[in-house]
Structure 1
């Protein structure tokens, strides 16, 4: 195991030396969740808990729950929550066949970073944990359906996903969520978005909204050692600030 710092050291996470290791995606996802103290949050596919820990560090007093199919990562998530002085429950189970403990849960917010790739469209990773994180067996529709079922009316579900899978994600979200919003994430000015943040609200009736892309890096190309994140992204990754969807 190896320990990594997030949010400028406010969160410290144990992660496997080999296998799936969290990057900035779960941090950005957690920063967008409009949770308030005292509310309940569920993360589907929580892995070692980076998003839950970052969200819990930003918003005090949340009731945190994670669902994770891999026992080793579920155990890591519990450890990471405890060592970051956060209270939460991590349930082991499958998105496609959720355990009873999850079926009894109703929450204010759901967040998820589903696997970015379809199994048949890529080479299989040698590490089982990494492979499950990159190309799990459950279709996106199962992730969205479970999120919608577990939400209270007017609760939000927020996803991060690769841009090329947006049609599949939007179709699934349209079945059980309303007030859909998309926020593309572009690596640099003038570059096509690679990732999409997508939000829906249970029972929402607002019109669909497509926001202008959020730019992750400054300048036309990476030309020096070190970080070149834009100021907005730096305040999220290093300062633990919220990343609110545009009004």
Structure 2
């Protein structure tokens, strides 16, 4: 997925290269590090964000706004991150990749975004939010990981509500989330009058249960749900599938 990181700033950080996307990313060596999910989400969005503005809710090291502006043609992006240390890394990554004129990092909780932006400010909203309810799943001793994985100040309904506020009528909201919470996701979207337009399941192997799903929602318009063919990451021999290789191989 990325060239193995070399140490920077002593041993606390690594510098990782995503050669396919011409990106260099500083990440914590032992804290929260990005997974496959943001790469898959950006590929799912792809040309739908070309030329437009977007905001990423929970940006981490800034990988989503950097990918979307540098590779997928978004005109501008805001990355929102509540963790001070991760927001600082995201700002550094913007500078490292020369993206200061296209990407802005905002150190803020998503629940406070209404005081920063008027309603309907962005063409697209993206999010790879915390998946798990508090007290569920495995916990990590590594700083920052549990906040990134578990809902803290904001839950699923908060993320979708804020996304609806921020996106323009007719615009798109893109999420990556857990299949075990798909029923909840659909119910909350319905309560908020967000129409789920596209849904794609992602499987590790062809015989495995889905590990995440990718969803596109629309604000201000009704639409039929298109369930796209599943994305399978690995072949039987452990190598990437042809489609996954196009997204993930460096």
Settle same-fold status: TM greater than 0.5. yes
Residues 234 and 125 (structure 1 numbering): CA distance in 2 closer, same or farther, change over 3 Å?
same
Q: RMSD of aligned C-alpha atoms? A: 1.8
What is the Cα deviation at residue 82 of structure 1?
Answer: 1.9
Q: Which residue of 2 aligns with 1:24?
A: 36
Q: Report whether the alignment pairs 1:112 with 2:127.
A: yes
Give the distance between the partners of 1:67 and 1:176, measured in 2 at CA: 24
Quick check: 1:7–1:54 contact (8 Å CA) kept in 2? no
Q: What is the TM-score of this pair, normalised by structure 2? A: 0.86
Q: Which of 109, 114, 134 is the matching residue for 1:94?
A: 109
- How far the C-alpha of 1:123 sits from its partner, in A, is 4.2
Q: 1:67 aligns with which of 75, 80, 86?
A: 80
Quickly say closer, same or farther: Cα 1:60–1:181, change in 2 above 3 A: closer
Instruction: After TM superposition, give the deviation of residue 141 of structure 1 in Å.
Output: 0.6
Give the number of the structure whose residues are more often strand, by fraction.
2
Higher relative contact order (CA 8 A, sep 6+): 1
Runs of 5+ in structure 1 lacking a partner? 223-227, 240-247
TM-score, with length taken from structure 1: 0.87
Q: State the distance in 1 between where 2:244 and 2:117 align.
A: 33
CA shift, 1:96, in A, is: 2.8
Shifted more, 142-151 versus 98-107: the winner is: 98-107
Q: Which moved more, 1:79-88 or 1:45-54?
A: 79-88
Q: After TM superposition, give the deviation of residue 69 of structure 1 in Å.
A: 0.5
Change (3 A) 1:57 1:98: same
Asked if structure 1 preserves the Cα contact closer than 8 Å seen for 2:199 and 2:214, the reply is yes
Per the alignment, residue 233 of structure 2 pairs with 216
1:82 pairs with one of 73, 95, 98: 95
- Which consecutive residues of structure 2, in runs of 5 or more, have no partner in the other structure? 1-12
- Post-superposition Cα deviations, 1:167-223, rounded to whole Å, max 9, x if no partner, equal 12112222231243210001111222111001101112111232231111112x53x
Could you say if the C-alpha distance between residues 195 and 179 of structure 1 is closer, same or farther in structure 2, counting changes exceeding 3 Å?
Answer: closer
Distance 1:21 1:179 in 2: 29
